Chains A and B, each alone.
Chain A
Amino acid sequence: MKTAWLTALALLATSAFAQPAAAQTLINGAGATFPYPIYSKWFDEYTKVDPEVRFNYQSIGSGGGIKQVTARTVDFGATDGPMSDEQLKAAPSELLHIPTVMGAVVATYNLPSSPKLKFTGDILADIFLGKITKWSDPKIASLNAGVSLPDQPIVVVHRSDGSGTTYIWVDYLSKISSEWDKKVGRGTSVNWPVGLGGKGNEGVSGQVKSQPGALGYVELAYAVKNNLPVASVKNAADKFVTPVIASTTAAAAGAARSMPDDFRVSLTNPAGDEAYPIASFTWLLVYRDQPNELKGRALAKFLWWMSHEGQKYADDLLYAPLPAPVVKQIEAKIKQITYQGKPLLAAR
């Protein structure tokens, strides 16, 4: 009797624990924090599409994402800045960059009655280099005729934590100003010539809000959610463009014609009349040749879904969806994902 009970219990236990493990595929990922809200939305929605796949994503930062995917401790990585050639060489096999959504970075400021301001890239670079120090500077004034600018010092506020937002911002400044490129350069953290550092979007906007005369940069999504005043910026076609979702997507459309095959491209200062110039992709990093057939196929299917149906969730979460020509290019890339040389999505 006793043994019968025990056997029953043991059976119950094994079935209870073993079954979901056999039926479900768990895919682990780690990386960028900026796209985390939409990734967690996708992973949640995707369980309705394919109940057999579960995603576990740790938003530990792009640096950590690159490290972990290179060490193969996760199945995919995520990054806000493309991997360098050396980093790609250090990976055990070929890594693909798959763009997922786009974000924009905006200039926000604290001036009496929050006027609508216009900037050019040169002026932004000069302010962040410490060469323009007052709001009443003739360069700013001539662009913003009709706005009364106070004779007040500009307090520059930047991110103190390493972040993809900073990378996009300084990447733009580097393209516009050769002096910035030489003196400061591009990176997730840089050696700022002037200014105060705030931790995270909330740290920057907190300091901008509490310092009269402050000028900082935050993600577009964060600025919209918190109703911060944002500046329009002159793009490569000499048009002043207000940062919104549509003008961010336009930035990728403008860059689509010259898109490199591996998507490792900076979208800042692209061509196109409607393109907002300070925008960027964020990427997932996946191995071209997947080490596990089951996981690899699930991942490829998810990437397909994410670049098509998944894009409709972007707007609500204030990310810019991928433009159609880029989705076409991504389709071709997803089809290149293989297991032991055999394509995983050949049927499509």
Chain B
Amino acid sequence: MAVVAAVPRVEAQAAPRNLGDQVLRLVLRAAALTLVLLVLAMVVSMVRASWPAMRAFGWRFLATSTWDPVAEQFGAIPFVYGTLLSSLLALLIAVPLGIGAAIYLAELAPAWIRPPIAFLVELVAAVPSVIYGLWGIFVLAPLLRVWVQPALGKTLGFLPLFQGPPYGVGMLAAGIILAIMVVPYITAVSREVLLAVPTSQREAALALGATRWETTRIAVLRYGRSGLVGAILLGLGRALGETMAVTMVIGNRPEVAVSLFAPGYTMASVVANEFAEATSDLYLAALIEIGLLLFVVTVIVNALARLLVWSVGGPVKAVRE
């Protein structure tokens, strides 16, 4: 994705002369349009299916935090909060780790060690999420409960983030599981991005007397920045939408709690958990509205991330030229 973006674009021809080009252009345009239509069709059908809930609750759906299927009172706040917080936590852990590993693999590691590590990273990306979830319940959660959470509580317990009884399962466990799942994506894509940076960039920086770190920072990371953002966004996308592994370790409690030790809930989890047995129409509509909300939140988060990058260093395009 980003690797492609780094390649200078050939200006599109105004009018292709031969028939083959014309056919190609039509076929590819159809392919691109299909994607757009697919997204639109998803939005339309989700809006239609969630209409009963929208009519019943209106904006209250976004402003309340009670989720009571029996009384048919539905509010989305705890789920939006849980999705955002667990993904943020995951990125806080995964971004330094993933990009650091990618820099090592692309810039510093001895040549013989690169292929096996790169291979392992890609292998980890292919592990099904339910495996991570089971590992989370049986290994990670007890580890957190017995060692990590008491230690955090003792040292950083004055922060509201690290208060409350240590259950093991909860927001912290979800963030860590997501980080583990997202790291291989960030590492693998970032590594490809860094490898695509022309050697002349590095040589130029080295020739000016830059150290290894300065070369990496100025010539490599800056050059590949839009690609690295792409890698992080890919990881973020997976974190926002991950269902199975999160459900198994987050504690599934629709509550807004500041403490990372407390159980929480995410949008994807509640849909996966409750969809199959949702018998009343309003209940089903509320769940579909959660799905729509997840879609909207993902779009907003992605847009914000891109804006953030542009505002920090001007348009990405300027760096490339």
**A-side interface residues toward B, CB under 8 Å?**
33, 60-64, 66-67, 81, 84, 87, 153, 155, 160-164, 184-192, 195-199, 203, 206-207, 210-211
Mask for B134-148, Cβ within 8 A of A = 1, else 0? 100110011001000
Does any Cβ of A come within 8 Å of B248's Cβ?
yes
Nearest CB of chain B from residue A19's CB, rounded to whole Å: 37
Whether B142 contacts A210 by the Cβ 8 Å rule is yes
Given contacts A189-B69, A196-B263, contact A160 B279 (CB under 8 A): no
Q: Which one, A84, A153, A163, A203, contacts B277 given CB within 8 A?
A: A163
Q: Considering the chains assembled together, what is the distance between the CA atoms of A185 and B168 in angstroms?
A: 29
Nearest CB of chain A from residue B203's CB, rounded to whole Å: 54
Whether B253 contacts A187 by the Cβ 8 Å rule is no
Q: Considering the chains assembled together, what is the distance between the CA atoms of A212 and B278 in angstroms?
A: 32
Nearest CB of chain B from residue A212's CB, rounded to whole Å: 9
Nearest CB of chain A from residue B97's CB, rounded to whole Å: 26
**B-side interface residues toward A, CB under 8 Å?**
66-71, 134, 137-138, 141-142, 145, 165, 167-169, 244, 247-248, 251-254, 263, 265, 269, 272-279, 284
Q: Considering the chains assembled together, what is the distance between the CA atoms of A189 and B279 in angstroms?
A: 10
Q: Considering the chains assembled together, what is the distance between the CA atoms of A84 and B280 in angstroms?
A: 10
Whether A190 contacts B276 by the Cβ 8 Å rule is no
Most A CB atoms within 10 A — which of B69, B276, B284? Answer: B276
Given contacts A184-B70, A211-B167, contact A66 B279 (CB under 8 A): yes
Whether A161 contacts B276 by the Cβ 8 Å rule is yes
Q: Which one, A33, A153, A197, A206, contacts B252 given CB within 8 A?
A: A197
Q: Considering the chains assembled together, what is the distance between the CA atoms of A206 and B251 in angstroms?
A: 12
Nearest CB of chain B from residue A319's CB, rounded to whole Å: 20
| Contact partners of B253 in chain A: CB under 8 A | 192, 195-197
Nearest CB of chain B from residue A148's CB, rounded to whole Å: 22
Q: Considering the chains assembled together, what is the distance between the CA atoms of A197 and B252 in angstroms?
A: 5
| Contact partners of A163 in chain B: CB under 8 A | 277
Nearest CB of chain B from residue A16's CB, rounded to whole Å: 37
Given contacts A162-B273, A187-B69, A189-B69, contact A199 B248 (CB under 8 A): yes
Nearest CB of chain B from residue A208's CB, rounded to whole Å: 11
Given contacts A197-B263, A206-B137, contact A64 B276 (CB under 8 A): yes
| Contact partners of A185 in chain B: CB under 8 A | 70-71
Tell me the nearest residue of chain A to B254, going by C-beta: A191
Nearest CB of chain B from residue A63's CB, rounded to whole Å: 4
Whether B68 contacts A190 by the Cβ 8 Å rule is yes
Tell me the nearest residue of chain B to A185, going by C-beta: B70
Whether A61 contacts B70 by the Cβ 8 Å rule is no
| Contact partners of B67 in chain A: CB under 8 A | 191
| Contact partners of B284 in chain A: CB under 8 A | 63
Q: Considering the chains assembled together, what is the distance between the CA atoms of A62 and B137 in angstroms?
A: 27
Whether B276 contacts A199 by the Cβ 8 Å rule is no
Q: Considering the chains assembled together, what is the distance between the CA atoms of A66 and B292 in angstroms?
A: 24
Q: Considering the chains assembled together, what is the distance between the CA atoms of A198 and B142 in angstroms?
A: 15
Tell me the nearest residue of chain A to B72, going by C-beta: A187
Whether A198 contacts B274 by the Cβ 8 Å rule is no
Sample (26) of A-B pairs whose CB atoms are under 8 Å apart:
A62-B277, A63-B276, A63-B277, A63-B284, A67-B279, A81-B279, A84-B279, A160-B247, A161-B274, A161-B277, A162-B273, A162-B274, A162-B275, A162-B276, A162-B278, A184-B70, A186-B70, A190-B69, A191-B68, A191-B254, A196-B169, A197-B263, A199-B244, A199-B273, A203-B248, A210-B145
Most B CB atoms within 10 A — which of A155, A163, A196? Answer: A196
Q: Considering the chains assembled together, what is the distance between the CA atoms of A198 and B247 in angstroms?
A: 8
Q: Considering the chains assembled together, what is the distance between the CA atoms of A50 and B31 in angstroms?
A: 50
Whether A87 contacts B279 by the Cβ 8 Å rule is yes
| Contact partners of B252 in chain A: CB under 8 A | 160, 196-199
Nearest CB of chain A from residue B291's CB, rounded to whole Å: 16
